[in-house]
């Protein structure tokens, strides 16, 4: 029986290994983590992450060929293939701070593998890492090898949160990068045979190591670039009276462009896009490619602009002050169908409104109060570092309360801001919400989920990203 061990039981490692286990009954899969609470949760009824379809997959194979454990060293020692899916945060200090990936966790995982291994291993990079990380890891392993042979593969994961299980069951492609030597090719074939249990052969792409590593950064950069492009258009739509949804549809029907990933929003979030682009920028700079770095940096700048533009809209529409005003925040996760808040646009928007002294009442169907308070207390780039290095919830807490539904959030509020496109926000009784609010009642829709015409009929003043402006907003001072 082939044994697989995955170091890191997070958003990527957990679902990916669960799907490998369910599709490959002949393979034993152990997912290990240093976090005791995380492993406990994986072994419980309530899993540590919310992901549609994940519960069923885990229930089918947990205890049979899928195990969650904190006994990292034993499972690594026993495995033939070791996936490494640990966090790679952005560095907060030192060389490359605010841009480069912090490979501390990766390096310690690699040293541990070298320490405990007694048989040859295939080590697979699963977490997104800077290009040429494989080479560094290879050096750590071979310089500490005690005669054991290691093959390093890069096998970046392309799943998106909220659709992870469906993405893993039916991936557009699986990418495997390896050394172009006979041992390298053999390792690639071994990993390929794992995926071949359910992925058609023509969808398994094999490349050299550096192509695989760079493709992951490039794919995320291209995806994020589409959003920044459509968001940049949304600002121009508001200025001219065009409707961004109509423009996106018209653009997307060109088969060279395609219809997906063209939804204007208050800004992209998630653990990958910003981090990977910053990383790409850093790699370009290190290679003397200043123009290329500048090109990609602009994608992040437009994303930041989109978030601050939204805050400015809220403040300027409400007579240039939100001090002491109650603002309902609907949705806090970075997209629907996940409880993940990493890099969510809601954090920057909330911080902006708190900075202007607003009182926020926040509701999200999947995010806990504790998580929201912690997110609002964190500084940039701290979110992916261990909890003991993070500050406690501070000043923000006084201006923020977290409530159990959208009606409670909006009761007595001056404005409602939609931050996440949860389905339930489309079907809310906006008439009831209007009745309970202060007048004039404002809705600022950062996700184009509300029916603008219907809400205006009810009496709301409505702002929706990239849509023709409410006459009220047109009269307000221009947004910087």
Binding interface with ligand ADP (CB under 6 A): 7-13, 32-35, 38, 72, 85-87, 105, 108-109, 127, 271
**Smallest distance from the beta carbon of 13 to ligand UDX, in angstroms?**
13
Q: Which of 13, 14, 177, 270 is close enough to bind ligand UDX by CB under 6 A?
A: 270
**Other CB atoms closer than 10 Å to residue 198's CB: what's the count?**
15
Among ligand UDX, ligand ADP, none, what does residue 194 contact (CB within 5–8 Å per kind)?
Answer: none
Q: Distance between CA 250 and CA 92 in Å, rounded?
A: 42
Distances 415 to 26, 77, 404 between C-alpha atoms, Å: 56, 56, 18
51's CB contacts (< 8 A; 6+ apart) are 11, 15, 161, 162, 164, 165, 337, 338
Structure tokens, 255:
């088969």
Residues 209-248 binding ligand UDX (CB under 6 A) are 220, 223, 227
Q: Is the sign of the CA dihedral 250, 251, 257, 261 positive or negative? A: negative
CB of 255 to ligand UDX, least distance (A): 11
Burial of 13 (0-12, 13-18, 19+ CB in 10 A): buried
Residue 331: strand, helix, or coil = coil
Q: Which is nearer to ligand UDX, 117 or 306 (CB)?
A: 306
Helix axis angle, 104-116 relative to 133-143, nearest 10°? 30
447 is in an annotated binding site: yes
CA-nearest of 268, 250, 233 to 421 is 268
Residue 159 assigned as binding residue:
yes
Contacts of 255 (CB under 8 A, 6+ apart): none
Q: How far is the CB of 230 from ligand UDX (least distance, A)?
A: 7
Per the residue annotation, which of 24, 61, 237, 272 is the catalytic one?
272
Among 23, 55, 116, 158, binds ligand UDX (CB under 6 A): 158
Interacting residue with ligand UDX among 169, 198, 261, 472 (CB under 6 A): 261
Answer with the entry of ligand ADP, ligand UDX, none that 158 interacts with (C-beta below 5 to 8 A by kind). Answer: ligand UDX
272 annotated active-site: yes
Dihedral over alpha carbons 49, 55, 60, 65 (to 10 degrees): 0
Q: How far is the CB of 190 from ligand ADP (least distance, A)?
A: 23
Cβ contacts of residue 447 below 8 Å, gap of 6+?
265, 266, 331, 418, 419, 420, 421, 425, 465
Residue 348 as a binder of ligand UDX (CB under 6 A): the answer is no
**Distance in Å, CB of 399 to ligand ADP, minimum:** 28
Q: Is 297 labeled as ligand-binding?
A: no
Q: Is 126 in the site for ligand UDX (CB under 6 A)?
A: no
Q: Could you say which DSSP state residue 465 is in?
A: T
Tell me: does residue 342 bind ligand UDX (CB under 6 A). Answer: no
- Partner from ligand UDX, ligand ADP, none binding residue 86, C-beta < 5-8 Å depending on class: ligand ADP
Residue stretches of the annotated binding site for substrate? 157-161, 216-220, 256, 263-269, 334-335, 447
Query: Would you name the residues annotated as active-site residues?
Result: 272
Give the residues lining the site for ligand UDX (CB under 6 A): 157-161, 220, 223, 227, 261-263, 265, 268-270, 272-273, 334-335
């Amino acid at each position: 029986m082939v044994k697989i061990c995955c170091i890191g039981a997070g958003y990527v490692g957990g679902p990916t290994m669960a799907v490998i286990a369910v599709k490959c009954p002949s393979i034993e899969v152990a997912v290990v983590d240093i976090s005791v609470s995380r492993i406990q949760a994986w072994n419980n009824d309530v899993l540590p992450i919310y992901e549609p379809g994940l519960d069923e997959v885990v229930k089918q194979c947990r205890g049979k060929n899928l195990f969650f454990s904190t006994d990292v060293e034993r499972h690594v020692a026993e495995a033939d293939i070791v996936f490494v899916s640990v966090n790679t945060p952005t560095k907060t200090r030192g060389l490359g701070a605010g841009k480069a990936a912090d490979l501390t966790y990766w390096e310690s995982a690699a040293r541990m593998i070298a320490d405990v291994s007694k048989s040859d291993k295939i080590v697979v990079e699963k977490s997104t890492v800077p290009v040429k990380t494989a080479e560094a890891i290879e050096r750590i392993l071979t310089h500490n090898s005690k005669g054991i042979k290691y093959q390093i593969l890069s096998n970046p994961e392309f799943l998106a949160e909220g659709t992870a299980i469906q993405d893993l069951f039916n991936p557009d492609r699986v990418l495997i990068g390896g050394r172009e030597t006979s041992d390298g090719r053999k390792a690639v074939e071994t990993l390929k045979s794992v995926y071949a249990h359910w992925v058609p052969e023509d969808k398994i792409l094999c490349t050299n190591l550096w192509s695989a590593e760079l493709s992951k950064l490039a794919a995320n950069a291209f995806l994020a670039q589409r959003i920044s492009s459509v968001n940049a258009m949304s600002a121009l739509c508001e200025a001219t009276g065009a409707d961004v949804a109509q423009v996106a549809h018209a653009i997307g029907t060109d088969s060279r462009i395609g219809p997906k990933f063209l939804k204007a929003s208050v800004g992209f979030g998630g653990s990958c896009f910003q981090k990977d682009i910053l990383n790409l920028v850093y790699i370009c700079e290190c290679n003397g490619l200043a123009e290329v770095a500048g090109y990609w940096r602009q994608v992040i700048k437009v994303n930041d602009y989109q978030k601050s533009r939204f805050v400015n809209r809220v403040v300027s529409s409400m007579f240039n002050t939100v001090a002491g005003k109650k603002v309902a925040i609907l949705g806090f996760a970075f997209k629907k169908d996940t409880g993940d808040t990493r890099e969510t646009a809601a954090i920057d928007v909330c911080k902006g409104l708190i900075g202007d002294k607003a009182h926020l009442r926040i509701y999200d169907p999947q995010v806990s109060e504790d998580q929201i308070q912690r997110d609002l207390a964190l500084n940039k780039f701290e979110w992916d570092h261990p909890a003991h290095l993070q500050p406690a919830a501070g000043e923000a807490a006084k201006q923020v309360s977290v409530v159990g539904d959208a009606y409670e959030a909006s009761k007595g509020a001056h404005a409602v801001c939609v931050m996440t496109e949860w389905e339930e926000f489309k079907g809310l009784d906006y008439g009831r919400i209007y009745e309970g609010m202060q007048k004039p009642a404002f809705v600022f829709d950062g996700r184009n989920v509300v029916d603008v015409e219907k809400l205006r009929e009810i009496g709301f003043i409505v702002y929706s990203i990239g849509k023709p402006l409410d006459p009220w907003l047109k009269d307000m001072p221009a947004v910087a």
